[in-house]
A and B are shown apart, each in its own frame.
Chain A
Amino acid sequence: DIQMTQSPSSLSASVGDTVTITCRASQSISNYLNWYQQRPGEAPRLLIYAASTLQSGVPARFSGSGSGTDFTLTISSLQPEDFATYFCQQTYSTTFGQGTKVEIK
């Protein structure tokens, strides 16, 4: 199986901050990488697919980059509704990262 390692597992940030979450694959996955957001009690939400394509309806402050084994999700100008858990998913054989919880500082 392709292992996905996310870091950090949690972070604290303030409204207006820029945060970066990384996801590393145990082998090259080209751009076969998606990012999701999950707020407590809500359904997970697709944010970015194919490493850098923003899903329809997702604010432009979310961006993704990377290829091969190293990927990043960046949230610019963090908003109150962005405090949530984020996880990556590789689509070669469908495995997920452990998640990164973004908390209010």
Chain B
Amino acid sequence: QVQLQESGPGLVKPWEPLSLTCTVSGGSISGSYWSWIRQPPGKALEWIGYIYYSGSTNYNPSLKSRVTISIDTSKNQFSLKMTSLTAADTAVYYCARYSSSSVWYFDLWGRGTLVTVSS
């Protein structure tokens, strides 16, 4: 079955950029929407943005100025780049598939990767 796996650095220095990759296995990345979501310690999940396999994107307005999501269909991967990180960006970052039936939902998730912002 389709599985998602996040990868990237676990520690990022303040004001440096973050780059994470989600690898989709067991199925094609084409034809679907893919998303990034994060959860700071002790806080609610926060949607970061999504990308369609064609490359069109939509971002959370509160993060839009610092976030770029891209996709590489040849590698079955999509990526998150976030700039100017602060301690407030410390969180578990999840990638997920964004699907719809009568409503939109996240029907497949990765296990998440913890990113700590600290000097």
Interface string of A35-70 (1 = CB under 8 A from B): 010000111111001100101000000000000000
Chain B residues lying within 8 Å of A45, measured Cβ to Cβ, are 109
What total of chain B residues lie within 8 Å of the partner, measured CB to CB? 21
Q: A98 to chain B: which residues have CB within 8 Å? A: 43-44
A43: nearest chain-B partner, CB-CB: B109
- Chain A, 11-51, CB within 8 A of any chain B CB: 31-34, 36, 41-46, 49-50
Contact string against A for B residues 79-119, beta-carbon threshold 8 Å, 1 for contact and 0 otherwise: 00000000000000010100001111111111110000000
State the CA gap A41–B111 with chains docked (Å): 7
A80-99 Cβ-contact flags toward B at 8 Å (1 or 0): 00000001010100111111
Please, which residue of chain A has its CB at the minimum distance from the CB of B42?
A98
A97 to B46 alpha-carbon distance, docked (Å): 10
Within 8 Å CB of B105, what residues of A? Answer: 34, 46, 49, 89, 91
Most buried by B among A49, A50, A94: A94
Q: State the total of A-B contacts with C-beta under 8 angstroms.
A: 58
Tell yes or no: B63 within 8 A of A by CB. Answer: no
Q: How far is the CA of A87 from the CA of B106 in the complex (A)?
A: 12
A21 to chain B, nearest CB (A): 15
B103 and A32: CB pair below 8 A? yes
List B contacts of A49 (CB < 8 A).
101-103, 105
Residues of chain A lying within 8 A (CB to CB) of residue B104: 91, 94
Which listed residue, B45, B103, B108, touches A96 by the CB 8 Å rule? B45
A50 vs B44: C-alpha distance when bound (angstroms) = 20
- Contact among B43, B101, B112 with A43 in the assembled complex (CB-CB below 8 Å): B112
Q: A42-B111, A96-B46 known; 10 other A-B pairs, CB under 8 Å?
A: A36-B106, A44-B96, A46-B107, A49-B101, A49-B103, A50-B102, A89-B45, A95-B44, A98-B43, A99-B44
Write 5 A-B pairs (CB below 8 A) sorted by A numbering: A31-B103, A50-B101, A53-B101, A94-B104, A97-B44
